[in-house]
Amino acid sequence: MPIRSALPSPRRGRPRKFGAPSRAVTLTLPENIIDALVHVDRDLSRAVVRVAQPEVRKRPHAAAELSTFGSRAVIVIRPTRTLERQIGVVLVPLSDGRALISFDESMTPARLELKIEDALEDAALTPGDVEILGSIRDLLKEARRSSSVTASGVFAWHPMVFSIWCRSRRYRTMGR
């Protein structure tokens, strides 16, 4: 199953407000709703996002996907304790119910890919774990084979969070 994620090209001008693709919309709201939203966040668009976030969490996410910001991307997964137990990584929970993969200095992206490959041979894995581990493996393999990206770990409060760095402005997708 091909895994796709659009990596936005670096752009000039105002920085992005949100980490996901967004667009401008016009809303007509009652004054009391606007007052309530201002209490959530002074920026109305951020307030709407915060209020809607619980609904977004209910939607199913891909087993593993790239979440991008600028020229960097991280692998975001549906959390599974199997990954922590068998691979030896720590999952950093995100507000939408997914998690980042975090590990110490001894784990390299190549070693992570190899450990996931070995874990996938375990016949006791649940179908959900097979899907998650297989998706992570596919993302790592595509990053390793691509001439447009490098896979590396970057420090984040001592544990390392897996990151993919985009070398080329032309690079747009991971996948076929």
Can you tell me whether residue 125 is helix, strand or coil?
A: coil
- Residue 114 in any domain: the answer is yes
Cα 171 to the chain's mean position, in Å? 17
In a domain, 75, yes or no: yes
pLDDT of 162 over the 60 cut: no
Distance of CA 30 to the CA centre of its chain: 35
Whether residue 51 is found in the same domain as residue 65? no
Distance (Å, rounded) from C-alpha 18 to C-alpha 67?
12
Query: What is the pTM assigned to this prediction?
Result: 0.60
Is 48 in the same domain as 95? no
Range among 30-39, 108-117, 154-163 with highest mean pLDDT value: 30-39
Residues 34 and 83 in one domain: no
- Torsion angle of C-alpha atoms 6, 10, 14, 19, degrees rounded to 10: 30
Do 71 and 42 lie in one domain? The reply is no
- Same domain? For 67 and 139 the reply is yes
Highest mean pLDDT among 53-57, 78-82, 97-101: 78-82
Same domain, 108 and 38: no
Q: What is the total count of domains within the chain?
A: 2
Query: Which of 70, 81, 57, 71 minimizes the C-alpha distance to 19?
Result: 70
Which tens digits make up the pLDDT trace of 15-30? Answer: 677 767 788 899 899 9
152 vs 36, more confident: 36
Domain of 76?
61-166
Residues 66 and 148 in one domain: yes
- Are residues 73 and 38 both part of a single domain? no
Q: Are residues 67 and 117 in the same domain?
A: yes
Residue 175 lies in a domain: no
- Has residue 8 been placed in a domain? no
- Residue 83 CA, distance from chain mean position: 16
Digit-coded pLDDT (tens) for 88-140? 888 888 877 888 888 777 778 888 889 999 999 999 999 999 999 999 999 88
Compute the Cα dihedral for 100, 81, 79, 3 and give only its sign: positive
Please give the single-letter amino acid code of residue 86. Answer: Q
Task: Tell me the three state secondary structure of residue 76.
Answer: strand
Considering the domain architecture, whether residues 36 and 70 belong to the same structural domain is answered as: no
d(CA 142, CA 133): 14
- 54 and 77 assigned to the same domain: no
- Token pair recorded at residue 94: 């995100």
Q: Is residue 172 part of a domain?
A: no
Does residue 65 share a domain with residue 55? Answer: no
